[in-house]
Structure 1
Amino acid sequence: MARLFDAYVIADWTAAEGKKLGENSVWIGVAKRDVRFRLYTETHNAATRAEGEALLTSILADHRKRGDRVLVGFDFSLGYPVGTAERLGLKDTPIWSAMWKFVASNVVDKADNTNNRYQVAAKMNRLMTDQAWPFWGAPAKQAQRWLTTTKPPPHEERAGSGADIPEYRATELAIKGGRLQPKSNWQMHGAGAVGGQTLVGIPMVRRLLESLGPAGAVWPFGTGWRALEAADVEPLNVLVAEVWPSMWPTTPTEGEFKDQTQVRTTAMAFAEMDDKGDLAKAFAPPKTATPELVEQVEQEEGWILGV
């Protein structure tokens, strides 16, 4: 069976402020084949998101020159829980694209990694509920009327505006209760928080896809939530997907950072799935998915590849 991709690039992003290498910084893992078609991996580290974006662009340009098709996985959410865009008053369709445009137009992320993610979260709370909800979590100096340092009461205990906002997307609910416990998009601060990464990550992915034009697409928004065949990816240089590196068991080599191990392992996991012919099926919804769920995932929420 023909492989869908020639290379597999996994980016572990960060919302950190200030330049930083090593733990909790930007890591990019690549799995590709040598001249004898043997799989091998390499990892790259960047001190800022701007440097990481430039590095990613360079890696993809090299593969494009070779005519390679590349799967690019990002470790943050590419969509928000159903109803978010409507609460923000966004009218454009598709919904995911309107959300991306909104986030990109509000987030300021400077070359030195300073950014306004907490202010954007507070603004979104103000627009959605006029309360410090659904986004939560901030350092004390960033807390304000519309963003608290700690998590507000559970959804079911909330009355009025915002009581019906889902804490998780459908893809996270599909994982909950197993070995892994997903984090909510709404958590901005604290251990494992993904809210900040999502806010600073989405504008970068949007720029990347704009630069690729018709040679780039994002799954499942641009492809449909379905099994993909070689003909589906043939016209593309790059297919972007959301991934969760914690899904794959890791064995660090000596001197490796945790994030470094994860991007290397995840890139290799997708490469091996593709070799076995299993990756094509991973793009499809579970058999239990209803038409309503398929529409929700394709139009607004997205899905984690491999869930």
Structure 2
Amino acid sequence: MPRLFSAYVIVDWSAASKPTTGADSIWIGVLKRDVRFRLAFESFNEATRAAAETRLNAILADLKKRSERALVGFDFPMGFPRGFADAMKLKGDPWRAAWDELGKRVVDKPTNVNNRFNVAAQLNRLLTDGPFPFWGAPPKDVQTTLMATKPRAHGPGDLPEFRHADLAAKGAASIWKTYYNGSVGGQAIMGVPVARRLKDARAGAAKVWPFETGFKALTEADLGGVDLVMAEVYPSLVKGAALPGEVKDQTQVRLTAEYFARLDEANKLGEVFAPPKGTAADVVLDAEREEGWILGAGA
């Protein structure tokens, strides 16, 4: 069986409000074939999200020119917990409606100045008319509908604190957390609009897993005419040692790319796109419609 992908692009995102490089900034890892058809890794550390988006477009254009299909992994949630779209009264496919809502609300300047805390506050106002469920902001961004700390626990009538995938990944943070260490909420707010533009620029040649592919094992037949599959990844799931001079984020994107490449080489990567064994039907449906899943979580 042939490999599903020729290249593996892993993106460690950042919601930083100013240009930054090094640790805790944006790292893009690319594992692709060199002139001798051997897998070779290179990484890019862009100071801003605008520069990273430009870099990603260039990488993907080059791979398309070489007729190489890519797996593109982003380390932020691609969907919200089940019920979000209904609570927001959004129309259409829940995952896509949420993507479009963020696309309309997020302002991200070339300098990395952004309005992610305002967006979280706006969404809270619409969801509960209070500082819930999003939480976490520096003092200057605290508002009546966004508090610096978590205001209360999630109850039976609330949107879930975690997606099914977050629980399966054991240690993944909640998307509602928008500040402090592990604030994947801020990263999702700032990352989804970029993923949306990358997807829309390529229409059907780019598929978002599991929303557009189905939550199932993928085969070559499923990927006809597809140049790239976009997926959520969680680099902490992959363990390994750093190379000399690497920062943690750089190591993680390299190890994650190498991990998926090894699975693909062994004709086992397709299976990773399927639900873990024993996953309930309603969980599969939630993942496909709204929540998404973390590639490899629960396996």
What TM-score results when the alignment is normalised by the length of structure 1? 0.94
Match for residue 59 of structure 1? Answer: 59
Q: Which residue matches 2:162?
A: 168
Deviation at 1:295, TM superposition (A): 1.2
User: Displacement, 1:290?
Assistant: 2.2
Other structure's SS at 1:155 match? coil
Q: Structure 1 residue 250: deviation in Å?
A: 2.8
Q: Is the 8 A contact 1:138 1:148 kept in 2?
A: yes
Instruction: Write the deviation string for residues 190-246 of structure 1: whole angstroms up to 9, x where unpaired.
Output: 111111100010000000011112211100001000000011123111110000111
Which ranges in structure 1 are unaligned for 5 or more consecutive residues?
157-161
Q: CA deviation at 1:163?
A: 3.9
Task: Map Cα deviations across residues 43-91 of structure 1 (whole Å, 9 max, x no partner).
Answer: 111010000000000001001001110000000000000011111111x
Figure out how many residues of one structure are paired with residues of the other and give that number.
Answer: 297
**Quick check: 1:13–1:26 contact (8 Å CA) kept in 2?**
yes
In the other structure, the counterpart of 1:159 is none
Q: Is 1:240 equivalent to 2:230 in the alignment?
A: yes
Partner of 1:132: 131
Which SS does the other structure have where 1:23 is aligned? coil
| Preserved CA contact (<8 Å) 1:6 1:33 | yes
The alignment yields a C-alpha RMSD, in angstroms, of: 1.1
Q: Percent identity?
A: 50
Match of 1:279 among 269, 281, 286: 269
Partner of 1:120: 119
TM-aligned CA deviation for residue 34 of structure 1: 2.4
CA distance in structure 1 between the partners assigned to 2:203 and 2:173 by the alignment: 32
Please state how far the C-alpha of 1:164 moved relative to its aligned partner: 2.2
Question: Any stretches of 5+ residues in structure 2 without a counterpart?
Answer: none
Aligned to 2:29: 29
In the TM superposition, structure 1's runs of 4+ consecutive aligned residues that sit over 4 Å from their partners are none
Return the offset for 1:100.
0.4
Displacement, 1:139? 0.4
Indicate the larger mover: 59-68 or 244-253: 244-253
- Asked if the contact 2:169–2:294 (Cα under 8 Å) also holds between the matched residues in 1, the reply is no
Displacement after TM superposition at 1:94 (Å): 1.0
Q: Is contact 1:13-1:76 (8 Å) kept? A: yes
Q: 2:125 & 2:286 partners in 1: Cα distance?
A: 24
1:99-128 superposed Cα distances (whole Å, 9 cap, x missing partner): 000011000011110000000000101100
Q: Which moved more, 1:282-291 or 1:195-204?
A: 282-291
Q: Within 5 Å, which residues of 2 pair with 1:1-307?
A: 1-90=1-90, 92-156=91-155, 163-176=157-170, 181-307=171-297
| Code of the aligned partner of 1:192 | G
User: What is the distance in 2 between the residues matched to 1:305 and 1:225?
Assistant: 10
Answer yes or no: is the 8 Å Cα contact 1:69–1:233 preserved in 2.
no
Q: How far apart in 1 are the matches of 2:151 and 2:121?
A: 14
- Following superposition, the deviation at residue 289 of structure 1 comes to 1.8
Corresponding residue SS for 1:72: strand
How far apart, in 2, do the equivalents of 1:25 and 1:51 lie? 12
CA distance in 2, matches of 1:234, 1:22: 38
Counterpart AA for 1:26: I
C-alpha deviation, 1:40, in angstroms = 1.9
Distance 1:250 1:16 in 2: 27
Distance 2:257 2:294 in 1: 15
Residue 167 of structure 2 aligns to which amino acid in structure 1? L
